[in-house]
A = this chain, B = another copy of it.
Amino acid sequence: MHVISETSSNGVIERTFTLGDITGVLWSPESAADGAPLLLSGHPAGMDKKAPIHVARAHASVTTDGFHVATIDIPGHGDRPRTARDNHLIDGFRRARADGDPSFGRILADYCACVAERAVPEWRATIDALQSLPDIGAGAPIGYVGMSLSSAIGIPLTANEPRITAAMFGWASAHDDLLEAAKRVTVPIEYLLPWDDQEIPREFGLELFGAFASENKVLHAFPGGHHQVPRDGGVDTRFFARHLGGVSAA
């Protein structure tokens, strides 16, 4: 892991890094507690590691909960090139969406699965590298949060990565592989489901929630379409503070 830059503002230290082809950012409290939890935060599809809404959420976790928050560019996003297959699938689901073609959902899910194949081992290598940093270490509890494309990555990641002990997902595209991965997720999870999503059938979200093997799982559903999420605290149960242990009194 090569730290490319280190800056600090409003109590948050930001380190950009590379790890082989991976490009990422680590946000940390200016004075992190020993053993502070590490939250892996997948960025929204179509954005990148420095998207303002994504950075704002990371800062909130750092300042409210005292967490380290790490993110990496999803393959084909931010500083990272797309493959020919990425372009083929993206063109395909965009065309299908524009045409109202019912194959849209399947092509989108194929694209998500194709990206996840690459992103899962990248996240695991990133965890190794982050744990080698002296201010994080191997003992920090680790959580994962990521919606839509970042859920298509996070669900198989969490199924295969025992170091992740709590996770939040939502808006995942319907794919049988995802149902199979969910059956191997046993850690506490929360799942967010927009009730009126035009892009992903509600029934798939309900089926996916049912598939998680976790004994401790909660589905939060709310009105609205694919890009809406309650911002009034309506789905905020302090999930990571409860499961990873917040270190701040906030």
* A234 and chain B: residue at smallest CB distance: B218
Report whether A195 and B210 are in contact in the complex, using a CB–CB cutoff of 8 Å: yes
Size range of the chain A interface in the assembly: 20 to 34
The copy count of this chain in the complex is 2
A183 nearest CB across to chain B (Å): 14
**Interface segment out of the listed A25-33, A77-85, A220-228:** A220-228
* A214 and chain B: residue at smallest CB distance: B223
Q: Which of chain A's residues 204-249 have a Cβ closer than 8 Å to chain B?
A: 206, 209-210, 215-223, 230, 232-239, 242
A198 nearest CB across to chain B (Å): 15
In the bound complex, residues from chain B placing their C-beta under 8 Å from that of A218 are 220-222, 230, 234-235
Known A195-B210, A206-B206: A232·B242 in contact at CB below 8 Å: yes
Interface residues of A (CB under 8 A from B): 190, 195, 206, 209-210, 215-223, 230, 232-239, 242
9 A-B residue pairings within 8 Å (CB atoms): A190-B234, A209-B221, A216-B234, A217-B222, A218-B234, A219-B221, A232-B242, A233-B238, A234-B242
